[in-house]
Amino acid sequence: MYFYNMAFLLKINFSGAIKTLLSGVYKIWNSLLSESYAKLLLLPGDIKGMSSVLNSINTIFVGVATSLLVLFFLLGFCSETTNVREEMRYDTIVRYLVRLIVAEYFTIHSKEILVQILKVCKAFCKELKSFLKLKSAKLSMTANEKEVIEGLGFVSSIVVLIVVVILAAILIFLGCSIVWTVYTRFLKVCLMIPFGALAFATMAGPSGGEVSRISSSYTKAFLANAISSIVIAAALIFGTVLMRGLAINLPSFGTTNFMAVIGSLLGKLLQASVLVACVKEAEYLTERMMGAY
């Protein structure tokens, strides 16, 4: 009788632990999902102290870039003109001056230009937010799952608890990977902004040369990372639809035994994996489309 009472109490404790663990894991997943979309709308100025640090670093880069601007201009001027008296024409002079003026403007105002591009991307993400139904991607325990967990036996409770711990760790990892993808994109953008001055200074270099192609390569890479926020937002929209609309056929174990709980958890895990796969694929999609590898 004593051992029977102990087993009954342990069964109750295991059932409570399973429900508490599942409830906590689902809350973590839901909060990570909401956090991921919120961070897509981040600008460097939205984080305390980031704007001042970025301005300080950008000032140093602009100072170096303006000196290189003159060097690149002289290199381009000398490489395309061999005899000043015979081959230099007014249209050539005007072309070089226009190139110098444009390069100087982009070099000095590189940070402002790049931040404006990020603001445009943020506006697009805000427009897409109305189509995003994060509630459909959020997970929660069903009434049937609670009923089955409460009716589990002593041995089956231990089995389900072990499975829940493993699946919970995987689900948290999937949620963190989405947030990590979003933060990585933001970090890339912040790191690229100060180098914009150096890249745009090469616009004054020889046309068609290796130096002049640096600015176009940088522009494609920055646009790819900036636009990736829009693509990730679209991936979250399509991913949430797939989570609920994509049929995942798993073996039917009924609705009363512990295998029903495990099957339900596996289904939710696969649905979450579909959403994460959509986001991870979107991370590199813009780079492939724009040729910025």
pLDDT in tens, 145-162: 777 767 666 667 777 778
pLDDT value, residue 261: 73
pLDDT value, residue 81: 60
The pTM is what? 0.75
Question: What does 110-179 look like in DSSP terms, one character per residue?
Answer: HHHHHHHHHHHHHHHHHHHHTT--GGGG-----HHHHHHHHT--HHHHHHHHHHHHHHHHHHHHHHHHHH
CA dist 232 and 286 (Å) reads: 10
Ranges of each domain in the chain: 11-290
CA dist 29 and 31 (Å) reads: 6
What does the H/E/C string look like for 174-227?
Answer: HHHHHHHHHHHHHHHHHHHHHHHHHHHHHHHCCCCCCCHHHHHHHHHHHHHHHH
Exposure string of 234-265, with b = 16+ CB inside 10 Å and e = fewer, is: bbbbebbbebeeeeeeeeeeeeeebbbbbbbb
Structure tokens at 100: 């110098």
CA dist 199 and 290 (Å) reads: 18
Question: What does 7-42 look like in DSSP terms, one character per residue?
Answer: HHHHHHHHHHHHHHHHHHHHHHHHHHHHHHHHHHT-
Nearest to 191 by CA among 1, 12, 44: 44
pLDDT value, residue 248: 52
Nearest to 152 by CA among 258, 45, 274, 290: 258
pLDDT, tens digit, 9 for 90 and up, residues 51-100:
888 888 888 888 888 888 888 777 776 766 654 554 556 666 777 778 77
